[in-house]
């Protein structure tokens, strides 16, 4: 049973002071950054798709995980649970690419049901599979004992906040490590390490060998652990503020990044060098400004140099205590045909250790910056094309291999994207006034704007809000005349469905030099006075020079370094609607479920524009039909008492053949 404890009076005072400071800062801010109300990546993933392992699996030494794999969940070959979020977005300068993030969200990306405002509680667990500490398995097979010098090491850091958003901080937040003993006299979990919450900025990098992570090395030297059932687990304690007007304040609590977990025998307390050369940075787009752009627009450029980045920067660390000979290369492969169309090879070269324990010199990582040739992507007249960029480190004789490869998929479809599709924060505009936000795009040839996808983060508890999609033309690289506008409604329910929503233009808008000088245009939103708005904000690329806001009648460039997640769709087919959400258009016939998540066994399905003759079907995530309700009127109260805890898809079929779907979460 996870215990929830009431916040002490001193903690309440600290939180109250933080809230007053944050509210006073917001009062004078035209734009501000908030935490996310949920984890949209996990909400779009099914934890049951992670490879399942037998419950009785037992591991042997060595144990190692640096979370460099593509799954969003911990490897089930090593771990028993799926509560932490494995990602490449939240860590600042990780030890190797990929970390496990502890937060207040469960494996489905929503706040834990037992966490309430004004309390702190244990949130995520990361529990190892049983590990044999009774024997060494392999060529040196023998009994293992405390004299064999078994050590566990790992790196951790508190989650780095946005530079002018401190978020909530509570002295009750912590990260803990426990060992499990199956010994009858000491049976159970024993705390062996822990740290209270602290600010990322307080990390002394010089004292941590230049790393922005803190290393911990612990001996496993008590006899009670040396059996075949040894386990260890991490968990975090998170505090929820009592202020719940903005969901991001609730969720931004007790957050930590964990990296490079390693257990083996024959180690020492100063055994903090690792025979590993690894990527630190993720793979990036080869385009200068975009993660994706329309293939027709790319092919129509008079100067491909303007579209392509001059070079890329790949960051590689040598975690060994001596230099190593490595080769870095990348290849570009046509995703459809599998044919390699470009490659780069650095040749064999030495890479110095990140930290030299003999000289105590911090060399840091090595930066490979190969030039990008403009013809690395062949232009064509096809509607779309896609390429996979594989980055590889080649070395011999080193221990860990999975972090030697990273990939990026370069898409040329019918949309522009400054963002990588994953928000780290929420972007908000001053609520009490009418406000506008837009991003600048420029075509190479005249085309048609047909739809826009905008990443909305949930405003839990808010009613339906009306916004205006707008398009402006350009004057001196700033928004000028409003050429197009269209009202649409957004409904924010308690499911916290943060994701891209599609707005299809009532009439396609021709972007030509007749109305858009230099084929430059601005796409964005207008929000009414006293209406909140919260959009996805991506930190992987800084597009602030192309983002404009208008709060007091004057356009100005955004002061927030990052990217507001807005994607215009140019030519081609209208983008498909996302699973779990309906069209967001001027008609807005959207299936709404409330309450959601549901815990009392009943949820109301409301489909505007289709009051009668509806069929409601509930599917599990494997596509199996769980419930069906025929010939019902809207709204309709569905009885879901017989369904187990989990995520479901609800589909509504109306009499006029309109189909709408929504995601439903059942908590018990």
Q: Could you tell me the CATH number of the domain that includes residue 627? A: 2.60.40.1220
Place 9 in a pLDDT band, splitting at 50, 70 and 90.
very low
Residues 430 and 389 in one domain: no
Spatial distance between the Cα atoms of 281 and 276, rounded to a whole number of angstroms: 15
Q: Tell me: cis bond preceding 62? Omega within 30 of 0 counts.
A: yes
pLDDT at 607: 77
296 and 243 share one domain: no
| Token pair 């990306």 in the structure block, residue | 109
Alpha-carbon gap, residue 464 to 51, rounded angstroms: 39
Question: What is the model's pLDDT at position 58?
Answer: 85
Whether the per-residue pLDDT at 52 is higher than 60: the answer is: no
Domain that holds residue 384: 277-412
pLDDT at residue 616 is higher than 70: yes
Query: How large is the average pLDDT for residues 109-121?
Result: 82
* 270 located within any domain: no
Q: Does the pLDDT of residue 244 top 60, yes or no?
A: no
How far lies 29's CA from each of 87, 307, 510, 527, 560, in Å? 31, 34, 36, 16, 11
Q: pLDDT digit string (tens) for 541-598?
A: 999 999 999 998 899 999 999 999 999 999 876 655 443 223 333 333 467 888 878 8
Q: Range with the lowest mean pLDDT among 130-139, 324-333, 442-451, 587-596?
A: 587-596
Co-location of 455 and 336 in the same domain: no
Q: For residue 604, is pLDDT > 60?
A: yes
- Residue after which a domain boundary falls, among 201, 230, 264: 264
Strands 188-196 and 174-181: antiparallel
Q: What is the pLDDT of residue 187?
A: 95
Give a yes or no: residue 586 inside a domain: no
Mean pLDDT, range 180-189, rounded to an integer: 94
Distances (CA, A) of 432 to 27, 250, 435, 534: 9, 22, 9, 14
Q: Distance of alpha carbon 627 from its chain centroid, rounded? A: 32
Q: What is the pLDDT of residue 14?
A: 41
More confident residue, 12 or 354: 354
Statement: residue 101 has pLDDT above 80: yes
Query: Which range has the worst mean pLDDT, 154-168, 326-340, 410-424?
Result: 154-168
pLDDT-derived band at 330 (thresholds 50, 70, 90) equals very high
Give the mean pLDDT of 616-622: 76
Q: How far is CA 161 from the centre of its chain?
A: 14
388 exposed, middle or buried (CB, 10 Å; 0-12, 13-18, 19+)? Answer: middle
Residue with the two structure tokens 């649409």:
488
Q: Which of 138-142, 543-547, 635-639 bottoms out in mean pLDDT, i.e. has the lowest?
A: 138-142
At 573 the pLDDT is: 67
User: Is residue 200 in some structural domain?
Assistant: yes
Res 586: pLDDT: 33
Residue 67 near residue 220 (C-beta atoms within 8 A) = no
Tell me if 470 sits within 8 A of 438, measured CB to CB. yes
Do 509 and 452 lie in one domain? The reply is yes
Q: Look at 43-52, 87-96, 220-229, 435-444 and tell me which has the smallest mean pLDDT.
A: 43-52
Task: Find all residues with CB under 8 Å of 571, minimum gap 6, and list them.
Answer: 294, 296, 414, 447, 448, 450
Residue 458: pLDDT band (50, 70, 90) is: confident
- The reply to whether 27 and 148 lie within a common domain is yes
Q: What pLDDT score was predicted for residue 135?
A: 87
Q: Does 399 lie in the same domain as 292? A: yes
pTM, 2 dp: 0.81
Residues 286 and 391 in one domain: yes
- Count of structural domains, the chain: 4
pLDDT confidence tier of residue 461, bands split at 50, 70 and 90: low
Tell me 162's DSSP state.
P
Q: Mean pLDDT check: name the lowest of 94-108, 397-411, 622-636.
A: 622-636
> What does the alpha-carbon distance between residue 591 and residue 665 come to, in Å, rounded to a whole number?
15
Q: Quick check: 537 pLDDT over 50?
A: yes
In a domain, 419, yes or no: no
Question: Looking at the domain assignment, is residue 3 inside a domain?
Answer: no
| Distance (Å, whole) CA 129 – CA 586 | 52
| 183 vs 622 pLDDT, higher one | 183
pLDDT beyond 70 at 10: no
Q: What is the pLDDT of residue 113?
A: 81
Predicted confidence band of residue 212 (pLDDT cuts 50, 70, 90) = very high
Rounded Cα–Cα distance for residues 31 and 430 (Å): 6
**What is the predicted pLDDT for the residue at 12?**
44
Are residues 619 and 471 part of one domain?
A: no
User: Confidence class of residue 3 from pLDDT cuts 50, 70 and 90?
Assistant: very low
pLDDT, residue 4, reads 36
Q: In whole angstroms, what is the distance from residue 70 CA to residue 63 CA?
A: 19
pLDDT of 84 higher than 50: yes
Residue 154 clears pLDDT 90, i.e. is over it: yes
Q: Is the pLDDT of residue 151 over 50?
A: yes
Q: Which CATH number covers residue 371?
A: 2.60.40.10
- Answer whether 295's CB lies under 8 Å from 385's CB: yes
CA dihedral 349, 352, 354, 357 (to 10 degrees): 150
Pick the closest to residue 153 from 219, 238, 200, 75 (CA basis): 219
pLDDT at position 47: 72
Residue at which a domain ends, from 364, 391, 412: 412
Q: What is the pLDDT of residue 463?
A: 55
How far is C-alpha 134 from the chain's CA centre?
A: 39
Nearest 5 degrees, angle CA 156-CA 161-CA 167? 115
In which region does residue 167 sit, left (phi positive, over 0), alpha (psi from -120 to 50) or beta (all else)?
Answer: left
**Residue labelled with tokens 């024993």:** 190
Whether 159 and 259 map to the same domain: the answer is yes
Average pLDDT score over the chain: 84
Rounded-to-integer distance, Cα 187 and Cα 394, Å? 45
DSSP strand E in 443-494: where? 447-456, 465-474, 479-490
Give the pLDDT confidence of 250-273 residue by residue, as tens digits. Answer: 666 789 999 999 999 999 998 888
- The reply to whether 40 and 117 lie within a common domain is yes
Instruction: State the pLDDT confidence band at 523, using cuts at 50, 70 and 90.
Output: very high
Please answer whether residues 628 and 616 qualify as being in contact, where contact means their C-beta atoms are separated by less than 8 angstroms.
yes
Q: Is 492 domain-assigned?
A: yes
Q: In this structure, how many other beta carbons lie within 10 angstroms of the beta carbon of residue 233?
A: 17
- Contact between residue 79 and residue 129 where contact means Cβ atoms under 8 Å apart: yes
Measured distance CA(502)–CA(584) in Å, rounded: 6
Confirm whether 418 is domain-assigned: no
Phi, psi (deg, nearest 5) at residue 206: -65, -40
Residue 195 sits in the same domain as residue 325: no
Cβ neighbours of 648 (radius 10 Å): 21
Looking from the CA of 578 toward its CB, the CA atoms found within 13 Å total 18
Distance CA 560, CA 580 (A): 31
Q: Tell me which residue of 563, 658, 655 sits closest to 612, measured CA to CA.
A: 655
Range scoring the smallest mean pLDDT among 306-320, 336-350, 376-390, 439-453: 376-390
Rounded Cα gap, residues 556 and 549, in angstroms: 6
Boundary of a domain, candidates 570, 602, 628? 570
Residue 47 within any structural domain of the chain: yes
Which of 138-147, 261-270, 487-496 is the most confident on average?
A: 261-270
Which letter, b or e, does each residue of 265-283 get, where b requires 16 or more Cβ atoms within 10 Å of its Cβ? bebeeeebbbebbbbbbbb
**pLDDT at position 540, please?**
93
pLDDT value, residue 668:
67
For residue 352, what pLDDT is reported? 94
Distance in angstroms (rounded) separating the CA atoms of residues 355 and 208: 10
Same domain, 557 and 661: no
Does residue 468 have a pLDDT over 60?
yes
Q: Is the pLDDT of residue 26 over 50?
A: no
Instruction: Specify the DSSP element, H or E, that contains 614.
Output: strand 614-619
């Amino acid at each position: 049973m996870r215990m929830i404890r009431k916040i002490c009076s001193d903690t309440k005072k600290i939180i109250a002071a933080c809230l007053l400071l944050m509210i006073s800062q917001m009062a004078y801010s035209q734009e501000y950054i908030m935490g996310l109300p949920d984890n949209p990546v996990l909400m779009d993933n099914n934890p049951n798709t992670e490879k399942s392992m037998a419950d009785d699996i037992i591991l042997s030494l060595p144990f190692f995980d640096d979370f460099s794999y593509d799954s969003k969940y911990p490897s089930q070959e090593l771990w028993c649970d799926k509560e932490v979020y494995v990602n490449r977005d939240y860590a600042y300068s990780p030890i190797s690419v990929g970390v496990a993030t502890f937060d207040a969200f469960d494996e489905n990306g929503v706040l834990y049901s037992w966490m309430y405002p004004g309390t702190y509680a244990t949130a995520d667990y990361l529990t190892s599979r049983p590990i044999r500490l009774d024997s060494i398995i392999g060529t040196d097979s023998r009994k293992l004992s405390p004299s064999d010098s078994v050590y566990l090491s790992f790196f951790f850091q508190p989650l780095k906040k946005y530079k002018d958003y401190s978020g909530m901080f509570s002295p009750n937040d912590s990260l803990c490590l426990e060992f499990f003993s199956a010994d009858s006299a000491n049976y159970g979990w024993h705390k062996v390490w822990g740290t209270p919450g602290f600010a990322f900025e307080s990390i002394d990098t010089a004292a941590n060998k230049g790393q922005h992570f803190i290393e911990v090395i612990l001996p496993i030297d008590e006899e009670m652990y040396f059996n075949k059932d040894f386990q260890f687990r991490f968990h975090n304690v998170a505090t929820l503020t009592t202020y719940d007007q903005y969901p991001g304040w609730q969720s931004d609590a007790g957050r930590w990044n964990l990296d490079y977990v390693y257990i083996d025998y024959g180690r020492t307390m100063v055994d903090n060098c690792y025979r590993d050369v690894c990527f630190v940075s993720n793979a990036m787009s080869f385009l200068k400004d975009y993660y994706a752009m329309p293939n027709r627009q790319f092919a129509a450029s008079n100067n491909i140099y303007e579209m392509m980045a001059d070079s890329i920067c790949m960051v590689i660390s040598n975690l060994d205590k001596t230099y190593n000979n490595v080769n870095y290369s990348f290849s570009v492969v046509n995703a459809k045909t599998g044919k390699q169309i470009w490659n780069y090879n650095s040749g064999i070269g030495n890479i110095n250790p990140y930290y030299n324990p003999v000289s105590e010199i911090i060399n840091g990582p090595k930066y490979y910056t190969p030039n990008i040739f403009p013809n690395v992507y062949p232009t064509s007249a096809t509607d779309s094309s896609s390429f996979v960029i594989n980055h590889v480190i080649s070395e011999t004789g080193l221990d860990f291999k999975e972090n030697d490869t990273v990939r990026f998929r370069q898409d040329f479809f019918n949309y522009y994207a400054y963002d990588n599709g994953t928000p780290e924060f929420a972007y908000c505009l001053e609520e009490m006034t009418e406000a506008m936000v837009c991003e600048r795009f420029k075509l190479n040839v005249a085309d048609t704007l047909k739809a826009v996808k905008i990443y909305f983060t949930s405003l839990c508890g808010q009613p339906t809000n009306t916004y205006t999609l707008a398009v402006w033309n350009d004057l001196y690289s700033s928004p000028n005349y409003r050429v197009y506008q269209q009202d649409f409604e957004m409904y924010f329910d308690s499911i916290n469905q943060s994701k891209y929503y599609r707005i299809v233009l009532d009439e396609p808008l021709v972007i030509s030099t007749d109305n858009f000088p230099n084929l430059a245009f601005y796409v964005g939103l207008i929000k009414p006075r006293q209406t909140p708005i919260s959009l996805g904000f991506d930190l992987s690329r800084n597009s602030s020079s192309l983002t404009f806001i208008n709060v007091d009648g004057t356009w100005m460039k955004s002061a927030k370094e990052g990217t507001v997640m807005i994607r215009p769709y140019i030519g081609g087919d209208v983008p498909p609607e996302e699973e779990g959400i309906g069209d967001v258009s001027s008609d807005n016939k959207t299936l709404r479920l409330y309450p959601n998540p549901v815990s009392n066994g009943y949820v109301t399905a409301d489909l505007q524009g289709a009051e009668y003759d509806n069929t409601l079907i509930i599917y599990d995530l494997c596509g199996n039909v769980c419930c069906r309700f025929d010939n019902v009127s809207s709204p309709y109260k569905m009885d879901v008492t017989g369904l187990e805890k989990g995520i479901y898809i609800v589909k509504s079929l109306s009499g006029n053949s309109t189909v709408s779907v929504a995601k439903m979460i059942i908590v018990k």
